[in-house]
Each structure stands twice: as C-alpha cells, then as structure tokens.
Amino acid sequence: MDTVKEIYQDIYRNYALAWETADADLWLSLWDENGTQMPPGGPSRNKDDLRRILPPRFVKNMVSSFVIELDEIEVLGDVAFARGRYTCDYTEEHAQPQTDGKFLSILKRQKDGKWKFHIDCFNSNIDPAYTS
C-alpha cells in the first residue's frame, strides 16, 4: 500500500515543480487520460481541453514558489481522495499577488503504479464576498 509520502512525491511534488519550472509537459503527464479539472469560475475541462488551454499559461520565471500541503488523503484500492491547501508565489517580474486556496482531488492509480489526477477541483481563498 502506498503511503501519503509516496503519493505526495509521485504527484503533488511534481505538480508544484511543473509550475515552478514552467514545464507544461510535466504537468500534463500528471493527468489520467480521462481526467477532469474543475476550476473556479469556469466549465470543467477534460484532458484534451487541458492540452489545448494550459500550456501557454506556463511562463518561465513566473512562479517562484508553489507549495502544496495535504491535510487528508485516503487510499481505497486504486483510487485516492486527497484534500489540502496550496500557496503560489509569483516573481516580481510578473507582479501578481500571492495565491492561496484549497483543493479536493480524486487520484487514480495507473497500470504502472503511478498516481494521476482523475478529478481535481480547486478554488482560491481570495473572495471579495468574504473579506472584511
């Protein structure tokens, strides 16, 4: 049985690394062929959508740090449910504010034993409706 550390190293560490190094191919490799991303404020995206939409968003030297913290993960056979938080810092050159938020993911173990995103839902903690 995989440990939380093994799953983290297999997928979440590489997810963050892909953004830090602007490696769209690495990021896309983390997705199951039938995977679905559910981003905030927009429609769900299948892997074909991700291949078309996301690579131009990976810009060299844009992200200085991307930290993913798992709060909970439950492995049930070849499926795992993961919940956690993320923080993304941008370089001064791109002058975007820090982004932090939370996620809920369903991971699927592939035939080669690697874990990939089957469903990933996330949203930012920055919401004007909740600021004082």
CATH number of the domain that residue 15 is part of: 3.10.450.50
Asked if the structure places residue 37 within a domain, the reply is yes
Q: Which tokens is 88 given?
A: 């993304």
Asked if the structure places residue 129 within a domain, the reply is no
User: What pLDDT was estimated at residue 52?
Assistant: 95
Asked if the structure places residue 31 within a domain, the reply is yes
Asked if the structure places residue 110 within a domain, the reply is yes
Q: Are 124 and 40 in contact (CB under 8 A)?
A: yes
Asked if the structure places residue 132 within a domain, the reply is no
List per-residue pLDDT tens for the chain, 132 residues long: 467 777 777 799 999 999 999 999 999 999 999 999 999 989 999 999 999 999 999 999 999 999 999 999 999 999 999 999 999 998 877 767 788 999 999 999 999 989 999 999 999 887 655 554
Asked if the structure places residue 52 within a domain, the reply is yes
Q: Which residues contact 123 (CB under 8 A, 6 or more apart)?
A: 40, 101, 102, 103
